[in-house]
Structure 1
Amino acid sequence: MDKHILFSLPGNSGLTKKLSNKLAIEMGKAEIRTFPDKESYICIHSKVRNKTSNNLWL
């Protein structure tokens, strides 16, 4: 099992997909919302158990 997972932040999905394919790293699924007061909500929908703590966000 691959121990890394790559997540995309808003506006970087193309780069994340290319990097994920190039490095053969799983691309994670996450829901990201920004509220009017600039606070953020991030819900990770991918399984991250047994993944390394240096998960990547682009």
Structure 2
Amino acid sequence: MTTKHLNLKFSVKDTDAIRNMAKSGRTAYAIALWFIRQGRPVATDEVLRVCDDMGVKVRKSA
């Protein structure tokens, strides 16, 4: 997996989880909430950027 930006906030495990959640139809907002519940604050824009870098389409919100 190559990304345009050096992304130190998300591990490979995190990006796999983001990819799976986005492909299952979750919005970027829901994915960001999942990280917040894990105790790791993440902005919706960061999720959108990571999805864009991976080439995964995701909606911003419902």
Greater helix share, structure number = 2
TM-score under structure 1 normalisation? 0.31
Greater strand share, structure number = 1
TM-score under structure 2 normalisation? 0.30
